[in-house]
Structure formats: structure tokens, C-alpha cells
Amino acid sequence: MQNRTHTCNELRLADAGKTVELCGWLENVRVVSGSLAFAILRDFYGTTQLVLETEEMLAAFRELNKESTIAVKGVVRERDSKNPKLPTGDIEVVPTAMEVLGRCRYNQLPFQINRSREADEALRLRYRYLDLRNPAVRDNIVMRCNVVAALRQAMIAHGFLEITTPILTASSPEGARDYLVPARKHPGKFYALPQAPQQFKQLLMTSGFDRYFQIAPCFRDEDARGDRSPGEFYQLDMEMAFASQEDVFAVLEDVLPPIFAKYGKYSVASTAPFRRIPYREAMETYGTDKPDLRIDLTVQDATRLMEGCGFGPFEGNVVKAVVVTDMNATRKQIDKLCADVEVVAGSKPYWFRLDEHGELVGGIAKFLQDRKEKVITALGLKPGCFVGLSAGKLGAAQKTAGVLVKQLGLLCPAHMDTERYEFCWIVDFPMYEIGEESGELEFCHNPFSMPNGGLEILQKAAAGEIDPLTINAFQYDLVCNGVELSSGAVRNHDPEIMIEAFQLVRLGEEDVKAKFPAMYNAFCYGAPPHAGIAPGVDRMVMLLAGEESIREVIPFPMNKNAQDLMMGAPSEVEQKQLDELHIALVKPED
């Protein structure tokens, strides 16, 4: 084995005259003449310039393809032409010996290593081991390691114990599809990979552990998004016994800001306490339950103001307005804005402006001339204001308005302070909602959450005295810069309250016992009040690195179709394996 004396980022002018040994990848060779060339050697830590001054050494290097792994022995000397941009820019190494440790057998690389991020994503994922040699890609993974270490250190300092929970468990209805694992010794039965350690961490609280955490792997068979990786992801999972919502908030408000300020692209992060915004207020004010508080734009209700104006899409619908002062956008920019909003929201936005002469112009302005003064007063308009509008059922109008706020913030730098991390808590989520597919009452978020009002308010809903849709839960989301980092809740630890909560969604006591036997039985032995949360590590690092795609901060990510192009997963298996698992494949019809 080679013994390197230094890394490729370590040598300085003070090392001139030393004989050293370096190991790394041959990044490039630039030939000046028949007996003079310059080569760049790269390792994990950085680069060092080599000077090849003999025909023999130059010939040895010429036989190598780029990215071959080599060991070099040589003498350090001061460079004539220094490079102040490199830590090693004052020196160079003159090799006296070179050994090939791992030859690159391909003349052509799939992409240039230092420009791999410009390559097609499928190509990058197929050759991820080459992509990771790019320092820009590598640095994201290094940051991830540092952030995880900092999170672990901070949680331990707060008295939490790191406890691992099972990977093979039982299937549980937690919102997404399970990944199932056939049980060879139990034909026809399956394990499931955990969507989250939800039940296990609550059982730990019931077992008497006071503070639990882990950097937990979670598995969900769901589609990819820019901020969500398909298949698997990691979260900072935590739970606290004898704890309230505010106890959970206090821990994360102490743990996260220093980490974001230290490792983030921006050095400014919210300090405790983070803003608390009730869910319904967030939807009305920002059009989303994931508001980006770096944007100073808000949503106004314009339903009555626009009533009877003669514009078809407004008739009988909720109308929302977003007012932007001093927006100097061209018509082309406005058209693109509207197109982008429609793509994201699935609903078309509308607009008009108040020009410098105090006239309503552009977009739908012709429908508002009969109420011009009323519109100006109600919306607080000044010359130069742009007004974006959405219309539809309440939820659709809010969603489109929320996308308008986001896109207008990006378009108008004066209304968005991008150089910071702004946290907030979204609280008081509804306990129930009407399911889009079923049309019936369903749990809105986590079914294990404690309703605000306890058993009494559930009994009133069951008796028809109140609408169950008005019941709030002690559920909360942590949001940063418009990205949901986590959901959490004060847990429902009382079996009687649990039964009552599930009965409202047509699941009786026997259903609860069958679906959640361990947790139900454990609670019957006396469970402490407990609460928790689980911020996503991948999303956290994505924000810190300033990346748009979560795949940029995962060492070996899958593509959008949950395929590992490098390893060829998912893959077919041999018939023998299927027989051992008592599985017969049924091919879908064309």
C-alpha cells in the first residue's frame, strides 16, 4: 500500500525542498514541449500541480488516461507563476517516480468531471461515482455529514438518547404506500419498511424513556418532487415525554438556528421564538401553509369587491388579490409569470395595473372601470401598483394566490430578502377534512394527534352539536423559506380519546385494536403525555446548500421514477427466489 506524506491540498511554500509522496486522480496533462508538461493531481482534499521535466516522465504520464489513480514521489519547489486562487498555488511538485494504482481504461469520460453538473441528470446518476469526484458535488455531501454530526451533538446535549428502531415492521396506514418485503418463513405475509418510526417512538415514551431521537431512514412508495426523494429519505426523528407543543418548539428553536447560520449559504437565520401562524390564518394571508416569510407580499380577499363586475371567472367564486408596489415588469414578463403560476397551481391567474396617471390598465382592467375608485381604495393602490388575482373555490383561489405571492417575490427583488433563513411554525391544523376522493370525513394530518378540546369536543362532534371540520388538533409544521421541513404533533395517548377520534372516520374500537395493536395495548397500561416532530435531513441540507433539487444533497439518489440507474434497481430476480417467497408474478395487461 502507498503511504502518502501529504494530501493534495496541504503543501505550502514552507514545504519547498521537501521530498513528498502524493496520491490521487490525474485530472489533466498540459504538454508544453517534448520534455515539459504540467499535470494536475486531485484527491478528496484539493489539487496540486506537477511539473514533468524529463522525456521519460512525460512519456509515462502520456500513457495514462484522465482519472487514472496514481502515486507520485517528488520534490516540492516554489512556482514561478503563482496561482492565488488555489491554496497550493505557491508551489509545485517535480515527480521523480510515479506508480499507477488504478488505471482508467477509457479514453473518453461520460462528462468532464469539474463540469459534471452541466451534464444530463440521467448520465450523472448512472455514473454517480464520477459525478461525486466533482468538488462542487462532493462539498454538498461533506456538508450533509457535518450537519448530521452537528444535529446529533446538539440533540445529545439536550438530553436526548439516540435509539434505533426496526426497519422490518408491520404495514400501517400512514398516508403513503408502503414498501413491502415478503416473509420467506411466513408464506403470504409481508413485512413493511417503515414510513416513519412513528409508533415505535411513541412506544418508547410509553416504555419510560424520556427523550428519544435518531437520524431515521424512512421509506415511502411515492412520486418524486424537487424537494422530495422517492423511495427513501432521512429525518431527525424526536419524541419527548411529559411534553407540550411549546417544549418541542423550544428544542428545535435552540438546535436549528446555529446550524443554519454556520453551514448555510446565508449567514442569517431566525432566532427564537419563531413566528407562530395558525393554519387558517396562513391560508388567508399567504395562500399556503408553507409561507416564505422572506417575501413581504400578502393576500387580500377581493370577493365582494369584484362581485358583479361582469368577468366570468369571478362570478360565484372566491376572488383573492395580491398587490405589488413599484413593479416594473414588461408585458412579456407578466405573461410568463401568469403561465408559470398556472402550471404550478393548475388554475389561471388574472391581473391589472394602476398606471402613473391613476388609470386601471391591462389584463382585466376593462371590467373594473365602473368601480375604479372603490378598487383603488379597497386594495390600497398607488400609481405603479400591479394586482394579481385568483378565482375559484376557496381552496383553489387560496392556492393560486399563494403561488402568485411566491412567483411575484421571485420576480420583484425589492419584495424578497433572499439572503436569509426565515422559520415559522404553522399551528392549529384542522383535525379532519373531507377527502377529495372519498368525499367523506378523513383525518387531515396525523391520526395519532391530540384534538384541541380532548374527549369532550369529539363527543360533541359525534352527537352533532358541532361540525367536526371545526376541530383543531395540536399539530404543527416547521417551515423555512417556503419549504416544509417537518410535521409534528402532541400525541393522543389516551385510548378512550383515540377510539372516539377514529369513530368519527367510521373506524370502531375493533378496527383500532386490529390496526394499531401494540400502541393501543401499551396506552392501556398508562402512557405519559408526549409530543414530537421529525425535520427532514435531506430538505434541511438542500436549503443549506441553496440547491433546487434534493438529489444534489443525497450521495446516491434515485431518479424521478424511483430507479437507481447506477445499480440497475429495481431489477428482475430469479424464479428460484420467487419460489422461495411463494410469489407468482402476474404481468399487467397492455
To the nearest 10°, report the CA torsion of 146, 149, 153, 155. Answer: 110
**pLDDT category, 299, cuts 50, 70, 90?**
very high
Give the up-direction half-sphere exposure of residue 244: CA atoms within 13 A in the CB hemisphere: 3
- Write down the architecture of domain 295-415 according to CATH: 2-Layer Sandwich (3.30)
Span 169-174, average pLDDT: 78
| Residue 1 reports pLDDT greater than 60 | no
Residues 6+ apart with CB under 8 A from 404: 287, 322, 341, 349, 388, 390
What is the per-residue pLDDT across 340-357, written as a single tens digit (0 to 9) for each? 999 999 999 999 999 999
Superfamily in which the 13-102 domain is placed by CATH: Nucleic acid-binding proteins (2.40.50.140)
Please state which CATH number belongs to domain 137-267+423-559: 3.30.930.10
What is the per-residue pLDDT across 192-222, written as a single tens digit (0 to 9) for each? 999 999 999 999 999 999 999 999 999 998 8
Give the sign of the dihedral formed by CA 66, CA 67, CA 70, CA 76: positive
What integer best gives the mean pLDDT of the chain? 94
**Dist. CA 190–CA 169, nearest whole Å:** 9
| Residue 2 reports pLDDT greater than 70 | no
pTM over 0.75: yes
- With CA atoms as reference, report the closest residue to 193 among 183, 175, 181: 181
Each domain of the chain, given as residue ranges in start order, spans 13-102, 137-267+423-559, 295-415
- With CA atoms as reference, report the closest residue to 154 among 32, 25, 252: 252
| Residue 518 reports pLDDT greater than 70 | yes
Res 224: pLDDT = 72
Span 403-418, average pLDDT: 95
φ, ψ at 298 (rounded to 5°): -135, 170
Res 175: pLDDT = 65
- Calculate what percentage of the chain has a pLDDT beyond 70: 99
Res 33: pLDDT = 87
What is the per-residue pLDDT across 369-393, written as a single tens digit (0 to 9) for each? 999 999 999 999 999 999 999 999 9
| Residue 84 reports pLDDT greater than 80 | yes
29-68: burial string, b at 16+ Cβ within 10 Å, e else:
beeeeeeebebbbbbeebbbbbbbeeeebbebbeebebbb
| Residue 47 reports pLDDT greater than 70 | yes
What is the per-residue pLDDT across 3-28, written as a single tens digit (0 to 9) for each? 899 999 999 999 999 999 999 999 99
Return the amino acid letter for 357: H
Span 255-262, average pLDDT: 95
255: how many CB neighbours lie within 10 A of its CB?
Answer: 21
Res 229: pLDDT = 80
